[in-house]
């Protein structure tokens, strides 16, 4: 690990940006001839001390002599801390004084964490580095609202959690909210506000007053808000992702989180996209979305290894992974089935020609039932043909909107020859055809 990244957890409890700045001023007053600002080493040692590490422990982590750290601290950081906290020169007798004095001086922050312990565990995340880097880069720039869109089991929640954990220390507050059980907005906002520090008191218990209070908070503090399973409060059968009638006020929440200026970061996961999540592809857009596709062969193969499929079947793994379009959950389910019913023999499973069964069928069921009539009708039309169909030949009055919605849900795919169903959906719809 690079030295600059050591002891980063200190950011969760200390206001590091303000400390670096104020200590830099103190340093400048003591040593005006030195270059302005703390050096990377000074910052690292400060974080180490704040986390309760002794100079000897810091030296071990930095892989240098303890004496070197001790000398550097007494010639530098200890003196800046005395100056900043109004102590006499050389008053500092113990390295523990640093954290104690800075805490008294008000540099310690307590991060508010709401529902953070309800976040599911992510056992292992294979691949997804490109997506993580992309999301981090967006959020570090002008973007304050990202959504991760993709079909069931593609790994949206796992990705959002990994992102949130990696970024968590940069925020004053962190909030996790699953919408799976369709909570009323009043209850959600009511709980958040009751757990945020006392200064956020809405004018009333009405959701719009709660929302105003929340937006004020998010403007003044830097929070990370993760909203999981947005599709749960979208109505089924809608081509544009409308909200369930009794959850229509969520639209205003998402709109304000995306459109109003604030210094917080919002991450939303959803199986379906709508206007509030749509954003723009422009580089400086405050609202952006990531369409989460399947894992590539290398990363998906790690799932099959983890599920203990024998190496002997490896020549057929590629076909299996392509069949399920790199969907991690489907691959886990299918690997378990192959293990259980086909003694781990991928070829025998593929030879059987059935890709859609049990829990995989259940996953598609969930998505199919939510489709509009237009989408279902078009799926049937496409399923009746073995070959891809160009858009001109799809006969339906709502063809454009429906095809676009189906593409957004990754149920169909596009090639130069036209549109076709992904294999599992093809099998599913053909089973459903009269
Ligand atoms: N990159 C990955 N590497 C390994 N396992 C993964 C990966 N992505 C997802 N999984 C596994 O696949 C399963 C589904 O992942 P997850 O719950 O994140 O999907 P989702 O897109 O949020 O699904 P849903 O739409 O149902 O909410 C989980 O068991 C998860 O551990
Ligand atoms: Mg999920």
How confident is the model over 187-223, as pLDDT tens digits?
A: 999 999 999 876 678 889 899 999 999 999 999 889 9
What does the domain layout of the chain look like in residue ranges?
3-104, 112-291, 297-353, 362-432
Do 112-291 and 362-432 have matching folds?
Answer: no
Average pLDDT taken over every residue of the chain: 92
CB contact at 8 A, 172 and 223: yes
Q: Say which CATH architecture domain 112-291 belongs to.
A: 3-Layer(aba) Sandwich (3.40)
The dihedrals phi and psi of 418, each to the nearest 5 degrees, come to 135, -155
CB contact at 8 A, 287 and 321: no
Burial of 303 (0-12, 13-18, 19+ CB in 10 A): buried
* Percent of the chain scoring above 70 in pLDDT: 98
- The pLDDT, as a whole number, for residue 14 is 86
Tokens representing 65 are 């002599």
- The pLDDT, as a whole number, for residue 2 is 61
Which one is predicted more confidently, 277 or 153?
153
Which strand ranges, in their side-by-side order, compose the sheet holding 173-178? 112-114, 173-178, 223-228, 265-270, 145-149, 287-291
Q: Which ligand is nearest to the CA of 291?
A: 1
Q: What class does CATH assign to 362-432?
A: mainly alpha
User: Parallel, antiparallel, or unpaired for β 287-291 and 145-149?
Assistant: parallel
The whole-angstrom separation of Cα 335 and Cα 127 is 18
Nearest CA to ligand 1 atom 5: 125
| Atom of ligand 1 minimally distant from the CA of 303 | 4
pLDDT tens digit sequence for 273-299: 888 888 766 777 889 999 999 999 999
Residues within 6 Å of ligand 1 by CB = 123-128, 150, 152-158, 229, 269, 271, 295, 303, 328-329, 332
Stretch 96-110: mean pLDDT, rounded? Answer: 91
pLDDT tens digit sequence for 308-332: 999 999 999 999 999 999 999 999 9
| Atom of ligand 1 minimally distant from the CA of 295 | 1
- Hey, which of 154, 158, 364 would you mutate to test ligand 1's pocket, going by the most ligand atoms within 8 Å of its Cβ? 158
- Hey, which of 125, 148, 155 would you mutate to test ligand 1's pocket, going by the most ligand atoms within 8 Å of its Cβ? 155
Spacing, Cα 50 to ligand 2 middle (Å): 36
Spacing, Cα 269 to ligand 2 middle (Å): 7
Q: Which ligand is nearest to the CA of 363?
A: 1
């Amino acid at each position: 690990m690079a030295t600059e990244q050591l002891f980063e957890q200190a950011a969760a409890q200390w206001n590091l940006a303000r400390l670096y700045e104020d200590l830099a001023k103190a340093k400048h007053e003591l040593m005006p001839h030195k270059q302005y600002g703390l050096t990377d080493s000074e910052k690292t040692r400060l974080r180490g001390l704040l986390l309760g590490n002794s100079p000897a422990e810091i030296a071990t982590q930095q892989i240098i002599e303890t004496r070197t750290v001790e000398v550097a601290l007494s010639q530098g950081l200890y003196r800046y801390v005395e100056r900043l906290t109004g102590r006499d020169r050389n008053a500092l007798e113990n390295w523990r004084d640093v954290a104690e004095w800075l805490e008294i001086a008000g540099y310690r922050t307590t991060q508010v964490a709401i529902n953070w312990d309800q976040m599911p565990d992510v056992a292992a995340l294979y691949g997804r580095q490109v997506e993580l880097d992309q999301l981090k880069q967006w959020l570090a720039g002008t973007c304050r609202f990202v959504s991760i869109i993709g079909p069931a089991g593609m790994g949206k929640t796992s990705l959002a959690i990994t992102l949130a954990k990696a970024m968590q220390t940069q925020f004053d507050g962190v909030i996790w909210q699953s919408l799976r059980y369709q909570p009323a907005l009043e209850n959600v906002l009511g709980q958040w506000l009751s757990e945020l520090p006392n200064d956020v008191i809405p004018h009333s218990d009405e959701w719009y007053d709660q929302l105003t209070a929340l937006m004020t908070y998010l403007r003044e503090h830097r929070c990370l808000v993760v909203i999981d399973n947005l599709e749960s409060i979208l109505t089924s059968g809608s081509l544009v992702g409308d909200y369930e009638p009794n959850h229509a006020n969520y639209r205003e929440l998402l709109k304000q989180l995306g459109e109003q200026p604030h210094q917080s970061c919002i991450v939303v996961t959803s199986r379906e996209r709508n206007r509030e999540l749509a954003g723009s592809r422009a580089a400086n857009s405050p609202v952006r979305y990531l369409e989460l596709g399947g894992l590539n062969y290398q990363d998906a193969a790690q799932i099959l290894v983890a599920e203990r499929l024998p190496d002997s079947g490896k020549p057929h793994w590629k076909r299996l992974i392509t069949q399920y379009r790199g969907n991690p959950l489907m691959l886990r389910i299918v690997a378990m089935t192959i293990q259980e019913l086909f003694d781990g023999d991928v070829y025998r499973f593929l030879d059987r020609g059935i890709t859609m069964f049990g829990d995989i069928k259940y996953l598609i069921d969930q998505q199919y039932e939510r489709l509009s009539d237009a989408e279902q009708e078009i799926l049937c039309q496409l399923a009746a043909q073995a070959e891809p169909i160009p858009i001109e030949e799809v006969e339906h009055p709502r063809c454009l909107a429906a095809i676009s919605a189906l593409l957004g849900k990754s149920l169909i795919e596009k090639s130069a020859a036209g549109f076709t169903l992904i294999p599992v959906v093809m099998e599913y719809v053909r089973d459903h055809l009269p």
